[in-house]
Chain A
Amino acid sequence: AQSVTQLDSQVPVFEEAPVELRCNYSSSVSVYLFWYVQYPNQGLQLLLKYLSGSTLVKGINGFEAEFNKSQTSFHLRKPSVHISDTAEYFCAVKITNRDDKIIFGKGTRLHILP
């Protein structure tokens, strides 16, 4: 069965510094990969997704992620964070040719320090 591991539960970073949120998955078959963001007191919204093709995926708000099949990773990056990026970030995986359940990681809370 597939699973998703987000290696850090919390990540503090200074404003305007770069950030990387780590995500590893386990699956023996091909997958789709997603990053969702949850701002305080809101539902989740899609940040970016990898379906196929280029392994570097660009999303909203300046975020990008790189799919690394050999390392089964899908790390999220932003070169310069802003206070408005304070949120919880969820990595998720879905088997490509199976039912529509998506497996979510436990989340990484990003704290932006002034």
Chain B
Amino acid sequence: DVKVTQSSRYLVKRTGEKVFLECVQDMDHENMFWYRQDPGLGLRLIYFSYDVKMKEKGDIPEGYSVSREKKERFSLILESASTNQTSMYLCASSPGLAGFYNEQFFGPGTRLTVL
């Protein structure tokens, strides 16, 4: 089974702190994604990556950055956390264009609260 793990289920940080959210997948997938999920807004794409050291902005990249130094790991960084970044963060991975199904596999999510 594909497994996507996220470093924390719950996280509480203070305004202005630098926050790292880690995601690891064990299926050698090329693509990895970070979403945030807010009530009534569904999933919104923050950043995604097609390959190591590659990254592309999603729909709401402001206030976030990412790092992908190894194929299996994709980190989301909040440079200076703000209260409007309180949300559920979901990581996902999928096989590349050569893959047959293109479905995304999700981690359990990290619920981040910024005080």
Contact = CB atoms under 8 A, between A and B. Distances in A.
Contacts of B109: 41-43
A106 B31 contact: no
Contacts of A74: none
Contact of B40 (A9, A36, A51, A99): A9
Contact of A90 (B43, B101, B105): B43
Given A43-B90, A51-B101, A90-B43, A101 B48 contact: yes
Interface string A83-114: 00000001000100001111011110000000
SS class of chain B's interface: helix, strand, loop or mixed?
Answer: loop
Given A106-B40, A106-B41, A46 B48 contact: no
Interface in B73-97: 90, 92, 94, 96-97
B106 interface: yes
A90 B42 contact: yes
B45 interface: yes
Contacts of B40: 9, 106
A78 to B, nearest CB: 20
A105 B42 contact: yes
Contacts of B103: 34, 46, 49
Interface of B: 4, 31, 40-43, 45, 48, 50, 58, 90, 92, 94, 96-97, 101-109
